[in-house]
Structure 1
C-alpha cells in the first residue's frame, strides 16, 4: 500500500499551479493548515491580513472538499502538530511551499530534522515565487542588492514555465483528529472589539476564484493602460492582485503568463512589479534582519524623534496633507492603499515627521490585507533610505505637489476625505491656502480639517539636518521641492 502524504498549506492557498499539491496528490493526501503565531512572532499576520486569511481558508476548504479531501485546520506548534500527524497517518512525506521569512526557514529546518529521525521527509517546493531567491546571484556569486540589475537578470531568463492545472479529484486520507473550525482560529474581529473590517467585504473577494476574476479583469481592461495610469489613485489603475499574491491564491507564474498573453511586450511595466516582489523576497532571504534593522549601517543610529501624537495623527488620516490622509483613511476602511500614495505617506512619516520607519512598518503589517514582511520591509527601507537599494534619503516627497501631480482634480481626496469634497480643485491639496470665503463655501469651518502637522519646507529642512547628523558627507542636499 502506498504511504500517504501530508500537504501543508502555508502561503499558497490555491489548487491551480501548486507544485506542492501536484507532488502530494500522487499519494493519498491529507491537506492541513496550521496557525502558528508563536513561531512567527512579530511577523505573524496582523488584523487585516487575518481577516483575509479567514475568508481565504474558507474558500480553500470548499475547493478541497469538492475534490474529496477536506482541509484540516489546526493551531499551535506546527512542527509538533505536523510530526504527530505524520506518525498518526503513516505519512512518508510532508509537502509544502518554502518561504523566505527567517522564522519559517527555522521552522522548516527543525521539522525536516525531526521527520528525518523517523524515516520521513519534508519536501519543499517553489510555490510562491518565480525562482528560489538563492538561485539568483550576481556574476561574482553574490546576492543582488539593487533592483534594476536583478530585474534585468530575471528577464534574460525568459518567461517561466507554464502554470500547472488544478487537479479535478484527490484521494483523501482520513484525519486522525477532527481539527478546528474556522471560528476556532479567531481570525475575525470579535465583540466587544469594533468591526473595523466592515468595509472590507465590499472591496475584496478572497480566495482562488476571486484571484482568477481579478486577474482576468485586469488583463482584459487594465493592463494596456497600466504604465500610464498606475500612479493615479483616483482611478482603478492598479491590478489589485497584491493580497491574492500575498496568500498565494494566485501564483506569480499564473500572473506572468496571463499578462504576457494579454499584453505581450506591453506587459513589461506590470511584470516589473512582479519582479520587485521577487527582489524584496530575495533581500529578505539573504538579509533576514531586514524587518527589524536598517540594512545600511549608517542608519542604525539615525536621529528619529518618536512622538506618539504625530504617529497617531498620521495613522488616523489627520496629518493635514489631503493626499496622505486620503491614503490612510482608505487603508483603514478597506485594508489597502494605492501604491503611489503609500510612498507619499511613508515619506511624510519618516522624513517630515522623523518617526521611525519601524513604526510605519508595524502599522502597515496590522492594517494591510496584503501585508507581507518582505515587501513591506523592503519598501519602508527604500523610502527611509536605509535599504540596500533605497530612495536617496535627501529626496523628500512634497505631499502637496505629489497630490497635484497624481490626483489633479482631487477625485481620490474627495472620496476618502469627504470634508474636502466641495473644495475647488486648485485648493484641494492645499486647503489651508484657500481664502476664507472659499473655505466657508466648501463647508470647511473651524476644525473641520486640520492644518498640516508640519509645514513642508520646515519638515524637509529638519529631515536634511537629521541626515547630515547621521551620515555626514554621504549625500548631496537635494530634494523634490
Structure 2
C-alpha cells in the first residue's frame, strides 16, 4: 500500500477533470485536498463582489465531489501547519500566472524544499508551455498572427485522465465552512448573479456539451451578433478554472472543419494574452508601448459615471454596460465597442475601464482583461491601430440590426423601431412622442458627438506619435 501523503493545493482549478496536480497525486499516494483563502494575497486579482460570488459557489459545488479542507491565512504558514498535522510528504499544485502570485509561489516552493518537502507544480491553465512559444530569436511573439501560426505547428498539451477513484486522507482535520470565508459581501449582487449563472465544474461541462452539440458550428457565423446567443458563455468557467481549456481545445478539434477555426482561434488568443502577461508582469497596469504614458487622458468623472451606468446616449454602449451590471458579463463584440467608447470617445484612461471590469465581471481574468484594454487602446504590442475608432452607431446597425439586444437591456427604447433605435436623436418627434420617449429625460442625449469625439481622439493620438516607443 502506498503510504505517501500528498497535499493537493487547489486554487483556480476547482475541478476533477484535467487537473494534473490531482491526477499525479492520485497515482502516487493519499490525497489531502486543500483550499487556502488568503484575502491579502488575492486582493490584487479577485477583489470584486462578482468574482468572490463565483468562488463561493464553486467551492460549494466542488465540495460535493471532494471533501475539501478549507483554511484561512498566509498560504505558506497554512501549508506548513497542514504538513505538520498530516505528516504530508509533498505538496502538488497547478501553476498560476498573476505576477505577485508567481513570486509568492516561488518563495513557497523554495521554503518547502528547504524543509525536505517535495513541491511540484503543473501546467493546467495553458495549452502550451511558454518556453515552447518563442520565435526564432527566442523572444516572445509580439503579433498574434505569428503566434497563431506557431501554435498550428506545436502540439498542445493533452488533458490528463480524470481520477474517478483515489484514496483521500480520512483522519479528522480542522476545516472552516465556505460560509465562514465571508465571500458574499453584497446580497443585491448575489441575488442578481444567481439569476444568470450556476458556477462549478459540473455546470461548466453541461454548458460545454450543449454548445458543442448545438452552436459550435454556428459560432463563426453568429458570434458577433449579441442577440443571437451563439457564444459559449464559458469565459467565467475558464477564468475560475471550473473547466479545462485543453479539454475544450481538443473537443473543438473533433474534425478538421475550417468553420471551427474561428472558435479555436479565440482559445489561442486567450493563450497569447497569458504569454504576454508572463513576459511582461506589468501588463495589467502599464502600457506596453511606453509612449502611452504621455497620452493626454481626460479627467471627467461625470462621463465615467455615465459610461458605468449605461447612460451615454449611445444605445449599443448603454445596453452592454447594463448587461454587465445586471449579469456580470458582456458580449464580446459589445465589450470591444464599449471599451473603445471609453478610451477613444471620452479619452478616459484605459486603466479606469480595466478596474471597472475587474469589479463587475464574473469572467474577470488578469491576462485577458489587460489584453483587451491594451488592444483597444493601442498601447499593447499587438493592438488595434490608433485610428480604428469604433463607430457605436454603425456597430449597432451592423450587429444588432433589429435592435433586439438593445430592447432587452435598454427597455426605455423597446418601442422605438429600427433604424431609430440605433440613433434615437434622429427619430421624428411624432414617433418619440407616440411611444413616450423624451430624449434628455427618459433616455439621455449623447454625452459626446461621435464625429467631434473621433477628431479629438485622433488629435490626442497625434500627441504621442512622435514620442519614442520602448
Provide the residue aligned with 2:143 in structure 1: 146
Provide the residue aligned with 1:274 in structure 2: 267
Encode CA deviations 1:44-83: one digit per residue, 9 max, x unaligned.
342111111111111111111xxxxx10112221121112
Query: For residues 392 and 219 of structure 1, what CA distance do their matches in structure 2 show?
Result: 34
Alpha carbons of 1:36 and 1:135: their partners in 2 closer, same or farther (altered >3 Å)? farther
Whether the 8 Å contact between 1:28 and 1:171 is mirrored in structure 2 is yes
Provide the residue aligned with 2:106 in structure 1: 109
Alpha carbons of 1:262 and 1:56: their partners in 2 closer, same or farther (altered >3 Å)? farther
Provide the residue aligned with 1:92 in structure 2: 89
Q: 2:185 aligns with which of 186, 189, 195?
A: 189
Deviation at 1:474, TM superposition (A): 8.9
Provide the residue aligned with 1:14 in structure 2: 15
Whether the 8 Å contact between 2:224 and 2:333 is mirrored in structure 1 is yes
Alpha carbons of 1:461 and 1:474: their partners in 2 closer, same or farther (altered >3 Å)? farther
Provide the residue aligned with 2:404 in structure 1: 411
Encode CA deviations 1:163-212: one digit per residue, 9 max, x unaligned.
3332222312246642211111111134xxx5123232232221111111
1:164 maps onto 2:139 in alignment: no
Encode CA deviations 1:80-117: one digit per residue, 9 max, x unaligned.
11122122212121111101110111111110111011
Provide the residue aligned with 1:316 in structure 2: 309
Query: For residues 408 and 19 of structure 1, what CA distance do their matches in structure 2 show?
Result: 46
Alpha carbons of 1:324 and 1:263: their partners in 2 closer, same or farther (altered >3 Å)? farther
Bigger mean CA deviation after superposition, 28-37 or 367-376: 28-37
Return the TM-score normalized by structure 1: 0.94
Encode CA deviations 1:112-166: one digit per residue, 9 max, x unaligned.
11101110122101111111223310011111111111111111124542x3332
Whether the 8 Å contact between 1:189 and 1:195 is mirrored in structure 2 is no
Any stretches of 5+ residues in structure 2 without a counterpart? none
Query: For residues 215 and 164 of structure 2, what CA distance do their matches in structure 1 show?
Result: 31
Encode CA deviations 1:395-431: one digit per residue, 9 max, x unaligned.
1111111111100000000000000000011101100
Matches within 5 A, 1:310-459: 310-445=303-438, 447-459=441-453
Deviation at 1:386, TM superposition (A): 0.4
Query: For residues 197 and 184 of structure 1, what CA distance do their matches in structure 2 show?
Result: 16
Deviation at 1:264, TM superposition (A): 4.0
Provide the residue aligned with 2:71 in structure 1: 74
Provide the residue aligned with 1:24 in structure 2: 25
Q: 1:52 aligns with which of 42, 51, 54?
A: 54
Query: For residues 457 and 436 of structure 2, what CA distance do their matches in structure 1 show?
Result: 34
Query: For residues 107 and 135 of structure 1, what CA distance do their matches in structure 2 show?
Result: 24
Root-mean-square deviation (CA), in Å?
1.7
Whether the 8 Å contact between 1:83 and 1:111 is mirrored in structure 2 is no
Bigger mean CA deviation after superposition, 1-10 or 428-437: 1-10
Provide the residue aligned with 2:118 in structure 1: 121
Query: For residues 331 and 203 of structure 1, what CA distance do their matches in structure 2 show?
Result: 12
Query: For residues 121 and 449 of structure 1, what CA distance do their matches in structure 2 show?
Result: 62
Whether the 8 Å contact between 2:291 and 2:468 is mirrored in structure 1 is no
Any stretches of 5+ residues in structure 1 without a counterpart? 65-69, 476-481
Deviation at 1:40, TM superposition (A): 3.1
Query: For residues 17 and 49 of structure 1, what CA distance do their matches in structure 2 show?
Result: 22
Return the TM-score normalized by structure 2: 0.96
Alpha carbons of 1:248 and 1:264: their partners in 2 closer, same or farther (altered >3 Å)? farther
Query: For residues 89 and 257 of structure 2, what CA distance do their matches in structure 1 show?
Result: 43
